[in-house]
Amino acid sequence: MDFYIILGLAPGASGADIKRAYRRLARRYHPGINPGDRAAETYFGRISEAYETLVDPDRRRAYDASGGQPVEETGPTFEFTGFDFSTIVQGAEAATFTELFADVLNAAGGAEGVRPEAGADLHSALTVSFEDAMRGVDRQVIVTRQDVCGACGGAGQVRTHEARCAPCHGTGKVRWARGHMVFTKACAACQGAGRQRSQRCAPCTGLGRVVRSDAVPVAVPPGAIDGMRLRIPDRGHVGRHGGRSGDLYVTVHVQPHPQFQRNGDDLHVVTSIGVHEAVLGARIDVPSLEGPVKLRVPPGTQAGQRFRMQGRGAPNPAGGGRGDLIVEARIVLPQVVDERSKDLIREFGKLYGERRNADF
């Protein structure tokens, strides 16, 4: 887990760059912003660990000196060179056992070897029109991800002519002092061989991974629902030490339609009919996903009455057929523009009133 890659920074980034990168990523992956998203919670933990290490100058120097990766060793040896047991150091300069052996214990901790580490998941969003969501559409999203370095195949090292190891001067061992004690361990650069047959990969600076932007195809299924998440396997950050890559999760946002309202797999639409059509009945055109379709309005239709047209609704995104089209009738009153129209309305009102009184 390379802390610079996690924060999207170069190894020479300044302290201000580290803080800006952390704030930007924290706003995106904080558990409070992604409730219930365990992948975001895990990635936020890695972001926090990377920030806490790199923002501290001492911890950052130690991290850079180790190359950012644990070193496999057979174990360090100890040399008590010039150690004066008669000298008693007290106060703030007195070294504790943990301080004296901190480097040794840290080195021994890497002796278990590295384990495959899965890459982190990525999240993106895609907006489609209502029509595209109903019929399905193929789109692309641009994601910035960590991928395997093509120059070194993820090893971080490239083969070169054999030469004497510069860090250990060909001895295969490195020495360092802590207080009065001198420690010796195998050289990490040549793995104790004293000769180097490879060198750090320049394109990835030895990390084995590079940051690149990819156009990832996304197949939006017919009947996609607003807010649904699509999982695209292995298109997240690449794993380390042979671990599998993370996944890409794309949230689909569906734009609203001016006529249709969706309820599950059913579609609701309001259509206008005239008074004469409501009274006498008629065959009218109503909108559907396939264009205008005929609907028979029976005589005596009331305002707000609903009609169901089976199989004319939204496709089920899981492939389970289609919903229905629910048509609500809205009666539109005619405009009275002349005396003849008024007379007809008066006559209709008189006739309707006589019939209504007869019902009582």
Closest to 256 measured CA to CA, from 133, 137, 139, 126: 133
Higher pLDDT, 24 or 194: 24
Higher pLDDT, 240 or 254: 254
CB neighbourhood size of 173 (10 A): 15
Task: Quote the CA–CA distance of 320 and 38 in Å, as a whole number.
Answer: 30
Residue 327 class from Cβ within 10 Å (0-12 exposed, 13-18 middle, 19+ buried)? buried
**Do 127 and 250 reside in the same domain of the chain?**
yes
Lowest mean pLDDT among 55-64, 134-143, 182-191: 182-191
**Do 36 and 56 reside in the same domain of the chain?**
yes
pLDDT at 99 over 70: no
What is the average pLDDT value for the chain, to the nearest integer?
Answer: 81
**Single-letter amino acid code for the residue at 16:** A
Query: What CATH number is given to the structural domain containing 242?
Result: 2.60.260.20
Q: Containing H/E element for 15? A: helix 15-29
| pLDDT band at 164; cut points 50, 70, 90 | confident
Query: What CATH number is given to the structural domain containing 46?
Result: 1.10.287.110
pLDDT at 315 over 90: yes
Higher pLDDT, 334 or 131: 131
pTM more than 0.85: no
Task: Quote the CA–CA distance of 29 and 40 in Å, as a whole number.
Answer: 5
**Do 302 and 271 reside in the same domain of the chain?**
yes
Query: What CATH number is given to the structural domain containing 178?
Result: 2.10.230
Q: Containing H/E element for 40? A: helix 38-55
**Do 226 and 345 reside in the same domain of the chain?**
no
**Do 32 and 88 reside in the same domain of the chain?**
no
Q: What is the pLDDT of residue 112?
A: 45
Domain limits for position 351: 261-359
Strand-strand pairing, 261-263 and 229-232: unpaired
**Do 350 and 268 reside in the same domain of the chain?**
yes
**Do 274 and 327 reside in the same domain of the chain?**
yes
| pLDDT band at 27; cut points 50, 70, 90 | confident
**Do 186 and 309 reside in the same domain of the chain?**
no
| pLDDT band at 227; cut points 50, 70, 90 | very high
Q: Which residues contact 261 (CB under 8 A, 6 or more apart)?
A: 267, 268, 269
